[in-house]
Amino acid sequence: MDKQKKIVSMFDDIASTYDTANRVMTMGVDIQWRKKACDLSYEIYGKKKIEKIVDVACGTGDMMGFWDKQAKKSDITVKELIGVDPSEGMVEVAKKKFPNYTYHIAKATEIPLQDSCADFISITYGIRNVVQRQEALHEFNRVLKKDGLVVILEFMKDENKNILKKIRDIYMHKILPYVGGAISKNLEAYKYLPNSIENFVTIKGMHEELKTAGFDIVYTKSFSMDVSTLIIAKKI
């Protein structure tokens, strides 16, 4: 089994417990990170009517729910919310939670949408799991309208290790996998998380990859001892 198929299979296995594990492991702080990403993106884009928001690696649909909720709070109309994910198990959970959204079982490198049709593409804690990452970023550029936004929330590799980051690393490597493993009954899946971060790119590296794919970086901020990073980039 190739690496990408193995990752998809792992997410199929943990789909039913994924939401619970996420909330417990982040102590609910990820909700604030997601809301911030939505609110800032709406503010930067500056439009009250949005045609399409595409959430890639949509998983169980959480981010789509926040796009919807935060739009309504700001009196913004979103015509269509589209979830794209290669994991059928994850999408089945999403459909039960949010039956009114549109879903596609597809890879980040093969989004089944026409050119220049989406206002936003978001990928939340998913770009790290895309093996052909640069190809995916080029695909995001293809699907986005000119001046459309790609919104990335991710656990980035550390550029500098200070004491707070070392404490974070202890949590990520020694505690988090066993919490997630206990909830999901799949320890291997949650051991994958910290290892995948170590093998990922730094913020600077992600910026370079986005620029190569035809984006201009408009916003970057790290939250909660740099555990999570938000990057918003605009299609040039």
pLDDT in the model for residue 176:
72
Do 178 and 187 contact (CB within 8 A), yes or no?
yes
Contacts of 45 (CB under 8 A, 6+ apart): 119, 120, 149
For residue 66, the enclosing domain spans 27-157+203-235
Per-residue pLDDT of the chain (236 residues; tens, 9 = 90+): 578 888 878 777 777 777 777 776 677 788 999 999 999 999 999 999 999 999 999 999 999 999 999 999 999 999 999 999 999 999 999 999 999 999 999 999 999 999 999 999 999 989 998 999 999 999 999 999 999 999 999 988 776 666 766 777 777 777 777 777 787 777 777 777 767 777 789 999 999 999 999 999 999 999 876 778 999 999 99
pTM: 0.88
**Structural domain contains residue 98:** yes
- Asked if residue 15 belongs to a domain, the reply is no
Tokens of 63: 């981010």
Q: How many domains does the chain have?
A: 1
In a domain, 163, yes or no: no
Pair of tokens at residue 195: 């290892």
Dist CA 218 CA 180 (whole Å): 34
Query: What count of other Cβ atoms lies within 10 Å of the Cβ of residue 167?
Result: 11
Q: Is residue 80 part of a domain?
A: yes
Q: Are 83 and 102 in contact (CB under 8 A)?
A: yes
Provide the sign of the torsion angle of the four alpha carbons 210, 70, 157, 7, taken in this order: negative
CATH of the domain at 223: 3.40.50.150
8: number of Cβ within 10 Å: 21
- Cβ neighbour number for residue 119 with a 10 Å cutoff: 21
Which structure tokens are listed for 131?
A: 């093996």
> Which residue is listed with tokens 């309208």?
145
Q: Is residue 172 part of a domain?
A: no
Residue 214 counted as domain residue = yes
Residue 54 lies in a domain: yes
108 is a domain residue: yes
